[in-house]
Structure 1
Amino acid sequence: MTSPQSPSPAPQPPVPASKDRIYRSPAGMAGGFALLVIVGWLGIDGIVSGHGRTPWLALASLILLLPLIIAFTLRPAVYVNDDRLRVRNPLRSITLPWGAVTGLRSGYSNEVLTGEAATKYQLWAIPVSLRARKKAARKQARATAAVRPGGGRSRAPGLGLGFGSFGGGGLDTDSAPSRAESDKIMDELRQLHEQRGAEKSAQGEVTVRWAYEIMAPAVAGAVLLAILIAVG
């Protein structure tokens, strides 16, 4: 007589991946919401109050413009965890395991490089601000000028304290260098790439997915608008 079998242990759930850090452009999102309000208000007003072909033209314009506004302002984001970098650009999403990334470059735009051919993908969600860079450079120059050539710190007239400090703690330019916000983010990504690029869990192929949910309505709106204009 066979003894009843003991129930097999329940399978252990997979270890969850590290939580994504999400980077977006606050200025882009603010501009996107403002454009959506303006275009939506004008379009709805044209549909409700327009005459003749105006409601149809307003509808076609809304179908064309709203997806594009969302794509180029609200959609861009960069998702980062210990294993991969996912770039969500206006018309496509690119998933790049850290092992497939060959570098991150900052110039007039921030880009991630991959493959032997150095294929590059722009990071729309982390735009470069030349104004912010110049502001940070001026701040760093002022901080450097506050330090004497001999290593001492300049003193405010009539005070025994370091300039810009309270209680005698002077400005330390080495411990708090001035950097533009987008450059700080790129530094963080480079550091994570260096730390995780060789890990087994960070290997894989680069995948690209086109944003058909954005492209399809925009194309439909463009076709409808072209037909309305053509028929006069």
Structure 2
Amino acid sequence: MIGGVLKKLVRGGKAETPAAVERAPVERPFRMLWLADERHGVVYCPIPKCACSTIKYWLVTSAEGARPDLARGVIHPYARERLSLERFSEEEASALVERSLSFVVLRDPMARLVSAFASKLCQHEPGMMEIHAKAIVEACVRAEGGEVEHDTTMTFWTGGRAKEVPASSRIDYGAGVSLRRVVSMLEATPDREIDPHFRPQRWFTKGFGFDIVGTLETLGETLAEVA
């Protein structure tokens, strides 16, 4: 089982290396996710659980100066609002990517999977489950042939605050799910339907030829090279 999901998480791995790949037009998923610092001519492809919070904060402070008011849960919507390629038309976004230094940071797939499982499904106080954990629990139920009917609302954390969202009264979200169930769900679920924190890294890169491909283990050196 683990072997199967490992193959899924790393298949297409050659596209995640700095091999010579022609730059393709910026597709909609990229416009939703990539961040651009026009002043410094840098474009970044954020991948959850690959130090993206740290890198987003680094980009924001590079562009705006120190921002101690931006907590970890707030940096994601703030960076998207201020730096996302969504601010541009597709033609403008493609041109910006073409003339900028592009980079991405990758992580060992199994280490990323374990980190996502621990942070989203294990490391939370009672009654403070993240909305991403809710999505994973529901995805596991669906992958096992169950139905998820949103017939009530419950409180989950998102963007650093509690929010009432649709939920199922038949699911004991607080009980969580095992890593084995998550692995089975990942094997059975199309990439585009998997929560971003667990989605294979190749989905984010799409075979794009980045100027710099770093790793989590060499994050300091990668950011120094970008700077």
Does TM, scored on the shorter chain, surpass 0.5?
no
What is the TM-score with the length of structure 1 in the denominator?
Answer: 0.24
> Bigger relative contact order, structure 1 or 2, given CA contacts below 8 A and separation 6+?
2
Determine which structure has the larger helix proportion and give its number.
2
